[in-house]
Structure 1
């Protein structure tokens, strides 16, 4: 059992928890909590990517049978409760943390098996971890086939983002790209219609037909879509609003659009 915060493994965990550069260089990310850890272990594609599992001393004692099961999947290390609290990204640690190798996706994963049913979100410079996590979680519920992010979006492997996805980050294909307009061009070349919620829109979002492959462009929380990204859209649409609100939260706007696609295809 590791009882010192000066331990090399503990220092590495802290770096992975706090620094995106460390996560990028190691090609690793962290999963915390029994629910998401359970998904990792039960998924054949993900369980092979678990590098190591860390348990707090109290968690290991209370869940001895689970500990033995986990040891059949990956190496397990016990941390004293104070040390586990030191490395945890939450105020109330749940006692289990996994170090996981990243999974690589490509454009075919984003498009899905049926191009006619493709439903993509394209995110331009989103910065709020909660927004990004909510978008991933909602996207899965709305039947989105994949998400494309500009490289300057908040780190998808930020522990706050990972937690707020509620496991969707393990199931939703995504790509982080340097050339967002170029990637949108690839979508259009594949026959995907590209829409952007924009003040220049002439039609309400629910007046368009999303029954074939479609993609939505979602911009930065404060500044919206960059001009060069907005110009890639085939159509601008409006989300009609009452009252004095000038805009919607990025995650809310994305949810409205995603579930309109879901509604049309369901009906």
Structure 2
């Protein structure tokens, strides 16, 4: 049993939880908690850590039956944990590797969320989770968007990280042009939208451009949209949170495609 926070494995977990660079170098990320552990495909698990008290509950102990795991003293596990109330289980998981083609290789029309400089981990995780619920085929992000393997993002996805393809790009403009060449119509959520969002047809290959929480889309990216759409507001509110706006657009698309 691991009884010291100075243990190399404990330090590795803490580094992966806190540092994007460590995650990139190792190709691993931390998935913590009962819900996330159940969602992770077992063939992607690199290693498992459980607290001493976790193993005292027989129903929980069954979760790691047949797996190799490390037992950690409760106080040390609390040190390792990225949450205020640890549930006593976490795994190091091998990262996913997708190409932009994977976002389009579905039998149904493409349905993409394209994110530029989204900074809030909660927003990113929510977009992924809501996106799975709405049926998106993938997420394309520029390289200034938050790290999808940040523990806060992982928790916010509630498992969608394991099922929704995603790609980071260091040349968003080039990839948007490629998508257009492949027949994807791009819509920018924008205050200058020509139509309210529900007036467009999203039953064909569709991508939505969602910009930074404070500044929106850059002019360069917005210029590549085929059309601007707006979400009409009542009261004195000018715009919505990025994840909320994305969800409105995604579920309108889901509604149209159901019909």
State the TM-score bracket (shorter-chain normalisation): over 0.9
Tell me, what secondary structure is at the counterpart of 2:136?
coil
- Among 82, 85, 100, the alignment partner of 1:92 is 85
Verify the 8 A CA contact 2:54 2:60 in the aligned structure 1.
no
- Superposed displacement of residue 183, structure 1: 1.0
Q: What does 1:53-92 correspond to in 2, within 5 Å? A: 53-63=48-58, 67=61, 70=64, 72-73=66-67, 75-92=68-85
TM-score (norm 1): 0.94
TM-superposed CA distance for 1:126, in Å, is 0.3
SS in 2 for 1:54: strand
Distance 1:53 1:186 in 2: 40
Task: Give the structure 1 partner of residue 117 of structure 2.
Answer: 125
Q: Deviations over 1:223-267 (max 9, x none)?
A: 000111111101111111111111110001001100110011111
**8 Å Cα contact 2:106/2:137 also seen in 1:** no
Alignment of 1:195-214 (within 5 A): 195-214=187-206
* 1:22 partnered with 2:22: yes
TM-score by length of 2: 0.96
State the distance in 2 between where 1:128 and 1:181 align: 22
Q: Is the 8 A contact 2:194 2:227 kept in 1?
A: no
Alignment partner of 2:53: what SS? helix
SS of the residue 1:117 aligns to: coil
Q: How far off its partner does 1:211 sit? A: 0.9
Aligned to 2:230: 238
| Number of equivalences | 259
Name the residue aligned to 2:161. 169
Could you tell me how far 1:68 is from its partner in structure 2?
A: 6.2
State the partner residue of 1:43: none
Q: Residues 179-258 of structure 1 correspond to what in structure 2 (within 5 A)?
A: 179-258=171-250
Alignment of 1:143-158 (within 5 A): 143-158=135-150
Q: Deviations over 1:155-210 (max 9, x none)?
A: 10000010011111111100011011111111111111000011222111111011
| Equivalent pair of 2:194/2:229 in contact (CA under 8 Å) | yes
Q: Residues 242 and 66 (structure 1 numbering): CA distance in 2 closer, same or farther, change over 3 Å?
A: closer
Task: Give the aligned CA root-mean-square deviation in angstroms.
Answer: 1.3
1:48 aligned counterpart, secondary structure: helix
Paired with 1:169 and 1:68, the residues of 2 have a C-alpha distance of 24
Q: Any unmatched runs of 5+ in structure 2?
A: none
Alpha-carbon distance in 1 for matches of 2:90, 2:144: 27
Instruction: Tell me how far 1:72 sits from its aligned partner.
Output: 2.5
Structure 1 residue 111: deviation in Å?
1.3
Matched residue SS, 1:210: coil
Distance 2:23 2:116 in 1: 22
1:108 deviation in Å? 2.5
Q: State the shift of 1:67 in Å.
A: 4.0
Task: Find the counterpart in structure 1 of residue 45 from structure 2.
Answer: 50
Aligned equivalents of 2:88, 2:110: Cα separation in 1: 39
1:159 maps to what in 2? 151
CA–CA distance in 2 between the matches of 1:47 and 1:109?
A: 22
